[in-house]
Every structure is written in structure tokens, then in C-alpha cells.
Amino acid sequence: MGTMWFNFNMMPIAFKTIALIGRYNTAEIAESLLGLASLLRQRSCHVLIEKETATNIGKNEFDTADYAEIGARANLAVVLGGDGSMLSAARNLAQYGVPLVGVNQGRLGFMTDIAFSHMRETIELLISGKYTIGERTMLETRVLRGEKELFCTQALNDVVVNKGGTGRMIEFLVHIDGQFVYDLRADGIIVATPTGSTAYALSSNGPILQPNVPGFALVPVCPHTLSNRPIAVSDRCVIEITIKHRAAGARLHFDGQPHSELAADDKVIVRRAAHSIRFVHPPGYSYYAMLREKLHWSEM
């Protein structure tokens, strides 16, 4: 299922309980976050501040909540930070169906739609019911060593198998739905969602996938054979990456987060996750306008 768009301008929907989540491990957002919290309370919204965010910004008068409590109580989560903060919030909240909207306090910000300079007026539009919402596919990744499952997680952007700290290429086998695709020697391989197609995969010459495309991109990173090109596959596929014995030092990453070293014969199984995440967009949002701005298209 790809991105779905709804226009709620005609629907009497309001966000009664709103969670605020700040950039990880920084107190710099304290003033703007607490200012937003006060505005929301003035508009009769109940405010929850994510537990670690509350610790980072210091003592305040608003209720705190962990992700499970936010999942149970919040109608919307506002993330102040960059794309990394949105990725973290998405992984934690997807299972609860809480929609996200991002205020860009990072750099590029492909997922954070609201400019910090327009935060207050844009949030007021959202809570008055003026917004659209899109659904974004996520990945589920399992690591198997023999019959034992070592690890299972979700990712919104991508799953990456790469050479880690070694200076040598790694070698691995790729199967899709049980069918052999190739034996690849490369610095790594990226499995990207449409959301993640504008992240690491883009810098590795992968395709940009519109958010409602029901597919994934498989993007080799610096392949030994230049004819190994990125391919797009259905998001109903199961992708299996098997580490070969000459691939000492291979490592798994998800959404840019390093996880673990991979050994010979380890299998990385990637498929569409059971849960997706919903992004709330302010009035006037355009995916193509976002690409033009972030990638500097159409500039003289």
C-alpha cells in the first residue's frame, strides 16, 4: 500500500492530545519546544513531552510520557529536529498509528515539512484541521545465523549492508522471493523505501521513488562490476542478503544507525513491515516542490 492522501478541510477533526519530541540529546530546542507547548495549551490541546526530551530540556510544567504512553494517548506527534529525529520517532510510534509532523531544525530536512520560522502559524493551521496526511511504507529486517534470529527491527529509510571499517569490498548473494539475483562484490548494498530513496540511496545513484510507489530500491554501493545497477522491486517481495565467507567485516545499518557485525553465512531478510507511518503535511505541501527546494532543481 503506497501513500494515500486525504483532505481534512471539510472534516471536523482536531488533535486534542499532542506529543512533542525534540532532537535527541540536545537542550538547544528547549525554548522553542516549550513555547510551542504553551501555544498548544492556549488552544485547548493537552500536551505531552516525550520522556527523554523532557530530561534534555530540563524541568517544566507539562506532562511527560514514554513512547508507549504517547502511542496510547496522543493524536499527533510534533518532532522538532531533523530527519534523524523523524526517523527515530517513526520507528518508535509506527506500531501505535500516531501521525507525525516535523519542524525543521536540522539541515536538509526531506521529512520535516515545517520551517522553524513559520512553526507557530503552521501548527495552528494543523490543529484547526487544515492538513493532508500521507502513509509511508516501512521495512522489517531480521538477521539469521543458522536457525537463530539475532536481531529484528524496523526502518523507515533504508537497510544497509556494507563493509564496515574494512578497506576491502565485501561479497554477498542476493535472492528475491527465493530467486537468485546476483553474487555481488561491492562496498555494500542499500535496500531503500520510497521515503529513503532521497537519502543514502540517492547519493549512491539510486532512483527517486515517489512516496506512493509500492516498491523498494536495491542500490549497490561502489560495485566491482559497473553493470550492477540499481533496481526497483515490488514492496511485496522478500529480499535475502547472504554474507559470503570472504566478507569479513560486513556490518548492518538501519536508518543510518549502526547495529552489528555480520559473519559468514549470516542472512539479512528484508520485507515490508506490518506497520506504516503517517506524515501530516501543512496546507500547500507538494512533494515535487520539496524536491525542487532540497535538490536545487530549476535554478539558473
Q: Would you name the residues annotated as active-site residues? A: 83
End-to-end CA distance of the chain: 38
What is the DSSP secondary-structure string of the chain? -----EE-TTS-----EEEEEEPTT-STTHHHHHHHHHHHHHTT-EEEEEHHHHHHH---SSEEE-HHHHHHH-SEEEEEE-HHHHHHHHHHHGGGT--EEEEE-SSS-SS--EEGGGHHHHHHHHHTT--EEEEE--EEEEEEETTEEEEEEEESSEEEEE-TT-SS-EEEEEEETTEEEEEEEESEEEEE-TGGGGTHHHHTTPPP--TT--EEEEEEES-SSTT---EEEETT--EEEEE-TT-TT-EEEETTEEEEE--TT-EEEEEE-S--EEEEE-TT--HHHHHHHHHTTT--
Name, in order, each residue with C-beta under 8 angstroms of 202's C-beta and a sequence gap of 6 or more: 208
The C-alpha cell that represents 11 in the structure block: 472534516
